[in-house]
Structure 1
Protein backbone atom coordinates (compact mmCIF):
# COMPACT_ATOMS: atom_id res chain seq x y z
CA UNK A 1 0.00 0.00 0.00
CA UNK A 2 1.68 3.18 -1.11
CA UNK A 3 0.74 6.66 0.00
CA UNK A 4 1.72 8.17 -3.32
CA UNK A 5 0.56 11.74 -3.66
CA UNK A 6 0.54 11.49 -7.42
CA UNK A 7 -3.21 11.06 -7.91
CA UNK A 8 -4.18 14.64 -7.15
CA UNK A 9 -2.86 17.36 -9.46
CA UNK A 10 -0.67 19.78 -7.47
CA UNK A 11 -2.72 22.79 -8.47
CA UNK A 12 -5.92 21.16 -7.17
CA UNK A 13 -4.26 20.37 -3.86
CA UNK A 14 -2.75 23.89 -3.67
CA UNK A 15 -6.12 25.45 -4.41
CA UNK A 16 -7.80 23.36 -1.70
CA UNK A 17 -5.18 24.40 0.84
CA UNK A 18 -5.56 28.03 -0.23
CA UNK A 19 -9.37 27.94 0.08
CA UNK A 20 -9.18 26.35 3.53
CA UNK A 21 -6.63 28.93 4.73
CA UNK A 22 -8.78 31.70 3.30
CA UNK A 23 -11.92 30.43 5.03
CA UNK A 24 -9.97 30.40 8.29
CA UNK A 25 -8.68 33.96 7.66
CA UNK A 26 -12.27 35.05 6.97
CA UNK A 27 -13.39 33.52 10.27
CA UNK A 28 -15.46 30.79 8.63
CA UNK A 29 -13.45 27.96 10.17
CA UNK A 30 -12.04 27.54 13.67
CA UNK A 31 -8.43 26.45 14.35
CA UNK A 32 -9.40 22.81 14.93
CA UNK A 33 -11.32 22.64 11.67
CA UNK A 34 -8.51 24.41 9.83
CA UNK A 35 -6.08 21.75 11.04
CA UNK A 36 -8.43 18.90 10.21
CA UNK A 37 -9.13 20.17 6.69
CA UNK A 38 -5.51 20.92 5.92
CA UNK A 39 -4.64 17.39 7.02
CA UNK A 40 -7.33 16.00 4.69
CA UNK A 41 -6.26 18.25 1.82
CA UNK A 42 -2.64 17.16 2.13
CA UNK A 43 -3.38 13.45 2.50
CA UNK A 44 -6.20 13.10 -0.06
CA UNK A 45 -5.24 10.34 -2.46
CA UNK A 46 -7.64 11.39 -5.21
CA UNK A 47 -9.57 14.41 -6.46
CA UNK A 48 -12.65 12.60 -5.18
CA UNK A 49 -11.28 12.63 -1.62
CA UNK A 50 -10.32 16.28 -1.98
CA UNK A 51 -13.83 17.33 -2.96
CA UNK A 52 -15.50 17.35 0.51
CA UNK A 53 -12.63 19.40 1.95
CA UNK A 54 -13.65 22.48 -0.05
CA UNK A 55 -17.22 21.66 -1.12
CA UNK A 56 -18.78 24.23 1.24
CA UNK A 57 -16.13 26.93 0.83
CA UNK A 58 -16.82 29.74 -1.61
CA UNK A 59 -14.23 30.61 -4.23
CA UNK A 60 -16.18 33.67 -5.22
CA UNK A 61 -15.19 36.19 -7.80
CA UNK A 62 -15.54 39.79 -6.66
CA UNK A 63 -16.85 41.89 -9.50
CA UNK A 64 -16.31 45.63 -9.99
CA UNK A 65 -18.12 47.14 -12.95
CA UNK A 66 -18.41 50.65 -14.40
CA UNK A 67 -19.55 52.14 -17.69
CA UNK A 68 -17.55 55.35 -17.74
CA UNK A 69 -15.51 56.93 -14.99
CA UNK A 70 -12.51 55.51 -13.27
CA UNK A 71 -12.19 52.39 -11.22
CA UNK A 72 -9.49 53.07 -8.68
CA UNK A 73 -8.38 50.93 -5.77
CA UNK A 74 -5.41 52.23 -3.88
CA UNK A 75 -4.02 52.38 -0.33
CA UNK A 76 -5.00 49.76 2.21
CA UNK A 77 -7.80 47.77 0.56
CA UNK A 78 -8.66 44.11 0.91
CA UNK A 79 -7.81 42.31 -2.33
CA UNK A 80 -9.99 39.26 -3.04
CA UNK A 81 -8.42 36.09 -4.39
CA UNK A 82 -10.33 36.52 -7.63
CA UNK A 83 -11.20 39.95 -8.98
CA UNK A 84 -13.13 40.65 -12.15
CA UNK A 85 -13.18 44.20 -13.48
CA UNK A 86 -15.52 45.26 -16.26
CA UNK A 87 -15.40 48.76 -17.67
CA UNK A 88 -16.64 50.21 -20.88
CA UNK A 89 -14.70 53.47 -21.20
CA UNK A 90 -13.10 54.24 -17.90
CA UNK A 91 -9.53 53.83 -16.83
CA UNK A 92 -8.70 51.27 -14.22
CA UNK A 93 -6.03 51.78 -11.64
CA UNK A 94 -5.27 49.02 -9.17
CA UNK A 95 -2.51 49.72 -6.72
CA UNK A 96 -1.69 46.59 -4.74
CA UNK A 97 1.46 47.96 -3.15
CA UNK A 98 -0.18 48.83 0.18
CA UNK A 99 -3.16 46.53 -0.04
CA UNK A 100 -4.04 43.70 2.33
CA UNK A 101 -3.50 40.51 0.31
CA UNK A 102 -3.77 37.32 2.35
CA UNK A 103 -2.73 35.07 -0.54
CA UNK A 104 0.41 34.25 -2.46
CA UNK A 105 -1.56 34.11 -5.68
CA UNK A 106 -4.47 36.17 -6.98
CA UNK A 107 -6.34 36.23 -10.27
CA UNK A 108 -7.42 39.47 -11.90
CA UNK A 109 -9.73 39.42 -14.91
CA UNK A 110 -9.94 42.60 -16.97
CA UNK A 111 -12.76 43.16 -19.45
CA UNK A 112 -12.24 46.67 -20.77
CA UNK A 113 -13.84 47.79 -24.02
CA UNK A 114 -11.95 51.05 -24.54
CA UNK A 115 -10.33 51.80 -21.23
CA UNK A 116 -6.81 51.04 -20.16
CA UNK A 117 -5.49 49.62 -16.92
CA UNK A 118 -2.50 50.18 -14.70
CA UNK A 119 -1.69 47.60 -12.08
CA UNK A 120 0.97 48.37 -9.50
CA UNK A 121 2.39 45.39 -7.64
CA UNK A 122 4.07 45.35 -4.25
CA UNK A 123 7.88 45.04 -4.33
CA UNK A 124 8.99 41.45 -4.94
CA UNK A 125 5.69 40.42 -6.54
CA UNK A 126 5.46 38.84 -9.98
CA UNK A 127 2.79 38.83 -12.66
CA UNK A 128 1.78 36.78 -15.65
CA UNK A 129 -0.39 38.50 -18.24
CA UNK A 130 -0.04 35.95 -21.04
CA UNK A 131 -3.76 35.29 -20.75
CA UNK A 132 -4.72 38.85 -21.71
CA UNK A 133 -5.87 39.48 -25.27
CA UNK A 134 -4.87 42.91 -26.48
CA UNK A 135 -6.42 44.16 -29.72
CA UNK A 136 -5.16 47.55 -30.87
CA UNK A 137 -3.77 48.42 -27.50
CA UNK A 138 -0.39 47.81 -26.03
CA UNK A 139 0.84 45.92 -23.01
CA UNK A 140 3.83 46.89 -20.91
CA UNK A 141 4.88 44.60 -18.10
CA UNK A 142 7.79 45.74 -15.96
CA UNK A 143 7.25 43.13 -13.27
CA UNK A 144 8.99 39.80 -12.83
CA UNK A 145 7.24 36.95 -14.63
CA UNK A 146 8.38 34.21 -12.31
CA UNK A 147 7.02 33.79 -8.80
CA UNK A 148 9.47 34.03 -5.92
CA UNK A 149 8.82 31.67 -3.01
CA UNK A 150 6.40 33.20 -0.54
CA UNK A 151 5.86 36.33 -2.64
CA UNK A 152 2.69 37.43 -4.37
CA UNK A 153 2.01 36.23 -7.90
CA UNK A 154 -0.73 37.90 -9.93
CA UNK A 155 -2.34 36.04 -12.81
CA UNK A 156 -3.99 38.49 -15.20
CA UNK A 157 -6.48 37.44 -17.87
CA UNK A 158 -9.20 39.09 -19.93
CA UNK A 159 -9.51 41.34 -22.95
CA UNK A 160 -8.55 44.93 -23.76
CA UNK A 161 -9.53 45.40 -27.42
CA UNK A 162 -8.40 49.04 -27.51
CA UNK A 163 -6.88 49.78 -24.14
CA UNK A 164 -3.36 49.71 -22.82
CA UNK A 165 -2.31 47.56 -19.93
CA UNK A 166 0.63 48.59 -17.80
CA UNK A 167 1.94 46.37 -15.04
CA UNK A 168 4.63 47.78 -12.84
CA UNK A 169 6.19 47.20 -9.45
CA UNK A 170 6.10 49.82 -6.73
CA UNK A 171 9.40 51.29 -5.65
CA UNK A 172 10.31 50.36 -2.12
Structure 2
Protein backbone atom coordinates (compact mmCIF):
# COMPACT_ATOMS: atom_id res chain seq x y z
CA UNK A 1 0.00 0.00 0.00
CA UNK A 2 1.10 3.57 -0.71
CA UNK A 3 -0.44 5.23 2.30
CA UNK A 4 0.95 8.72 2.84
CA UNK A 5 2.19 9.09 -0.74
CA UNK A 6 0.57 11.79 -2.93
CA UNK A 7 -1.70 10.73 -5.77
CA UNK A 8 -0.02 10.78 -9.23
CA UNK A 9 -0.62 14.07 -11.04
CA UNK A 10 -1.57 14.09 -14.72
CA UNK A 11 0.85 15.89 -17.04
CA UNK A 12 -1.60 18.66 -17.87
CA UNK A 13 -1.68 19.56 -14.18
CA UNK A 14 2.10 19.92 -13.96
CA UNK A 15 3.37 23.40 -13.22
CA UNK A 16 5.08 25.24 -16.12
CA UNK A 17 8.42 27.06 -15.97
CA UNK A 18 9.37 30.58 -17.02
CA UNK A 19 11.15 29.15 -20.09
CA UNK A 20 8.05 27.24 -21.15
CA UNK A 21 5.88 30.35 -20.83
CA UNK A 22 8.43 32.33 -22.85
CA UNK A 23 8.49 29.67 -25.59
CA UNK A 24 4.72 29.99 -26.00
CA UNK A 25 5.00 33.80 -26.03
CA UNK A 26 7.57 33.60 -28.85
CA UNK A 27 5.38 31.15 -30.80
CA UNK A 28 2.40 33.50 -30.49
CA UNK A 29 4.47 36.49 -31.64
CA UNK A 30 5.71 34.50 -34.62
CA UNK A 31 2.14 33.45 -35.49
CA UNK A 32 1.05 37.10 -35.42
CA UNK A 33 3.97 38.08 -37.67
CA UNK A 34 2.87 35.35 -40.10
CA UNK A 35 -0.69 36.74 -40.14
CA UNK A 36 -2.22 33.79 -38.27
CA UNK A 37 -3.40 35.94 -35.33
CA UNK A 38 -4.69 39.50 -35.31
CA UNK A 39 -3.51 41.94 -32.65
CA UNK A 40 -6.51 41.51 -30.35
CA UNK A 41 -6.12 37.72 -30.41
CA UNK A 42 -2.39 38.07 -29.81
CA UNK A 43 -2.84 40.36 -26.80
CA UNK A 44 -5.46 38.08 -25.24
CA UNK A 45 -3.34 34.95 -25.67
CA UNK A 46 -0.15 36.64 -24.46
CA UNK A 47 -1.87 37.66 -21.22
CA UNK A 48 -3.06 34.08 -20.68
CA UNK A 49 0.40 32.70 -21.47
CA UNK A 50 2.17 35.01 -19.04
CA UNK A 51 -0.25 34.04 -16.26
CA UNK A 52 -0.34 30.31 -17.03
CA UNK A 53 0.29 27.99 -14.09
CA UNK A 54 -0.03 24.53 -15.67
CA UNK A 55 0.35 22.76 -19.01
CA UNK A 56 -3.45 22.71 -19.25
CA UNK A 57 -3.37 26.53 -19.21
CA UNK A 58 -0.72 26.75 -21.95
CA UNK A 59 -1.76 24.00 -24.38
CA UNK A 60 -4.96 25.63 -25.76
CA UNK A 61 -3.08 28.84 -26.64
CA UNK A 62 -1.17 27.20 -29.51
CA UNK A 63 -3.46 24.22 -30.25
CA UNK A 64 -4.82 25.81 -33.45
CA UNK A 65 -1.36 26.84 -34.73
CA UNK A 66 0.88 24.66 -36.95
CA UNK A 67 4.18 23.45 -35.47
CA UNK A 68 6.81 26.16 -35.33
CA UNK A 69 9.15 24.73 -37.95
CA UNK A 70 11.99 27.10 -38.90
CA UNK A 71 11.78 28.22 -42.52
CA UNK A 72 14.97 28.54 -44.55
CA UNK A 73 14.29 32.18 -45.32
CA UNK A 74 16.89 33.90 -47.43
CA UNK A 75 18.73 36.54 -45.39
CA UNK A 76 18.72 40.20 -46.38
CA UNK A 77 22.23 41.09 -47.60
CA UNK A 78 23.37 44.73 -47.60
CA UNK A 79 26.76 45.77 -49.02
CA UNK A 80 28.12 49.30 -48.75
CA UNK A 81 30.19 48.96 -51.92
CA UNK A 82 31.79 52.19 -53.16
CA UNK A 83 28.88 54.57 -52.51
CA UNK A 84 27.24 53.25 -49.35
CA UNK A 85 23.76 51.87 -48.62
CA UNK A 86 20.99 53.03 -46.27
CA UNK A 87 17.93 50.97 -45.36
CA UNK A 88 15.41 53.19 -43.55
CA UNK A 89 11.74 54.18 -43.45
CA UNK A 90 9.14 51.40 -43.56
CA UNK A 91 10.56 48.12 -44.76
CA UNK A 92 9.94 44.40 -44.23
CA UNK A 93 12.34 43.05 -41.64
CA UNK A 94 13.49 39.44 -42.09
CA UNK A 95 14.76 37.25 -39.28
CA UNK A 96 18.37 37.36 -40.51
CA UNK A 97 20.41 40.21 -42.00
CA UNK A 98 24.01 40.24 -43.30
CA UNK A 99 25.69 43.66 -43.44
CA UNK A 100 29.04 44.54 -45.05
CA UNK A 101 30.35 48.09 -44.71
CA UNK A 102 32.50 48.07 -47.85
CA UNK A 103 34.12 51.39 -48.90
CA UNK A 104 30.92 53.44 -48.57
CA UNK A 105 29.35 52.32 -45.23
CA UNK A 106 25.95 50.85 -44.39
CA UNK A 107 23.25 52.43 -42.25
CA UNK A 108 20.49 50.12 -41.02
CA UNK A 109 17.60 52.07 -39.46
CA UNK A 110 14.72 50.21 -37.76
CA UNK A 111 13.00 53.22 -36.17
CA UNK A 112 10.03 53.33 -38.57
CA UNK A 113 9.58 49.60 -39.07
CA UNK A 114 6.75 47.53 -37.58
CA UNK A 115 8.30 44.23 -36.61
CA UNK A 116 6.61 41.40 -34.69
CA UNK A 117 9.52 38.96 -34.84
CA UNK A 118 10.72 37.83 -31.39
CA UNK A 119 14.33 38.29 -32.48
CA UNK A 120 16.44 39.44 -35.43
CA UNK A 121 19.90 38.04 -36.15
CA UNK A 122 22.34 40.52 -37.67
CA UNK A 123 25.84 39.60 -38.80
CA UNK A 124 27.87 42.77 -39.36
CA UNK A 125 31.33 43.37 -40.80
CA UNK A 126 32.45 46.97 -40.63
CA UNK A 127 35.12 46.52 -43.34
CA UNK A 128 36.57 49.90 -44.47
CA UNK A 129 33.71 52.37 -43.91
CA UNK A 130 31.76 50.79 -41.06
CA UNK A 131 28.19 49.91 -40.16
CA UNK A 132 25.65 51.90 -38.13
CA UNK A 133 22.54 50.18 -36.74
CA UNK A 134 19.73 52.28 -35.24
CA UNK A 135 16.99 50.60 -33.22
CA UNK A 136 13.89 52.16 -31.60
CA UNK A 137 13.71 52.93 -27.90
CA UNK A 138 12.40 49.85 -26.15
CA UNK A 139 14.25 47.40 -28.39
CA UNK A 140 17.25 45.65 -26.85
CA UNK A 141 20.44 44.15 -28.27
CA UNK A 142 22.56 41.14 -27.33
CA UNK A 143 26.08 41.86 -28.54
CA UNK A 144 28.37 39.43 -26.71
CA UNK A 145 29.44 37.83 -30.02
CA UNK A 146 30.75 41.06 -31.57
CA UNK A 147 34.50 41.59 -31.99
CA UNK A 148 35.92 45.09 -32.13
CA UNK A 149 38.50 44.75 -34.92
CA UNK A 150 40.62 47.81 -35.76
CA UNK A 151 37.65 50.16 -35.96
CA UNK A 152 36.07 48.97 -32.74
CA UNK A 153 32.53 48.19 -31.70
CA UNK A 154 30.20 50.45 -29.70
CA UNK A 155 26.93 49.38 -28.10
CA UNK A 156 25.09 52.55 -27.09
CA UNK A 157 21.72 50.87 -26.49
CA UNK A 158 19.88 50.61 -23.18
CA UNK A 159 19.11 47.16 -21.75
CA UNK A 160 15.41 47.86 -21.11
CA UNK A 161 13.26 45.86 -23.52
CA UNK A 162 9.56 46.57 -23.90
CA UNK A 163 7.12 43.63 -24.23
CA UNK A 164 6.51 42.29 -27.74
CA UNK A 165 9.58 43.97 -29.25
CA UNK A 166 12.39 42.12 -31.05
CA UNK A 167 15.72 41.25 -29.50
CA UNK A 168 18.61 42.09 -31.83
CA UNK A 169 21.28 39.37 -31.73
CA UNK A 170 24.35 41.01 -33.22
CA UNK A 171 27.53 39.18 -34.18
CA UNK A 172 30.52 39.89 -36.39
CA UNK A 173 33.49 42.26 -36.37
CA UNK A 174 34.11 45.99 -36.53
CA UNK A 175 36.80 45.68 -39.21
CA UNK A 176 38.64 48.90 -40.03
CA UNK A 177 35.54 51.11 -40.07
CA UNK A 178 33.87 49.89 -36.90
CA UNK A 179 30.30 48.94 -36.00
CA UNK A 180 27.90 50.99 -33.87
CA UNK A 181 24.45 50.03 -32.59
CA UNK A 182 22.42 52.77 -30.91
CA UNK A 183 19.03 54.38 -30.40
CA UNK A 184 18.05 57.52 -32.39
CA UNK A 185 20.03 60.67 -31.57
CA UNK A 186 18.40 64.02 -30.80
CA UNK A 187 18.47 65.20 -34.44
CA UNK A 188 16.87 61.95 -35.64
CA UNK A 189 14.19 62.24 -32.93
CA UNK A 190 13.31 65.79 -34.02
CA UNK A 191 13.12 64.70 -37.66
CA UNK A 192 10.83 61.80 -36.73
CA UNK A 193 8.53 64.08 -34.74
CA UNK A 194 8.29 66.46 -37.72
CA UNK A 195 7.37 63.59 -40.04
CA UNK A 196 4.76 62.28 -37.60
CA UNK A 197 3.25 65.77 -37.32
CA UNK A 198 2.48 65.97 -41.04
Relative to the length of structure 2, the TM-score reads 0.61
Residue 79 of structure 2 corresponds to which residue in structure 1? 66
Q: Structure 2: any 5+ residue segments left out of the alignment?
A: 1-9, 50-54, 61-65, 190-198
Residue 22 of structure 1 corresponds to which residue in structure 2? 33
Q: CA RMSD in A?
A: 3.6
Equivalent residues, number:
158
Q: Higher strand share goes to which structure?
A: 1
Is the CA contact (8 Å cut-off) linking 1:114 and 1:160 kept in structure 2? no
Query: How do residues 40-119 of structure 1 correspond to structure 2 at under 5 angstroms?
Result: 42-43=58-59, 53-55=67-69, 58=71, 60-66=73-79, 68-69=81-82, 70-119=84-133
What is the alpha-carbon distance in structure 1 between the residues aligned to residue 73 and residue 21 of structure 2?
A: 21
Give yes or no for the alignment of 1:126 onto 2:140.
yes
Is the CA contact (8 Å cut-off) linking 2:148 and 2:173 kept in structure 1? yes
What is the alpha-carbon distance in structure 2 between the residues aligned to residue 68 and residue 30 of structure 1?
A: 40
**Higher Rg of the two aligned structures:** 2
Relative to the length of structure 1, the TM-score reads 0.68
What is the alpha-carbon distance in structure 2 between the residues aligned to residue 117 and residue 67 of structure 1?
A: 9
Moved more, 146-155 or 87-96: 146-155
Is the CA contact (8 Å cut-off) linking 2:116 and 2:165 kept in structure 1? no
- Note closer, same or farther for the CA distance 1:122–1:160 as it changes in structure 2 (3 Å cut): same
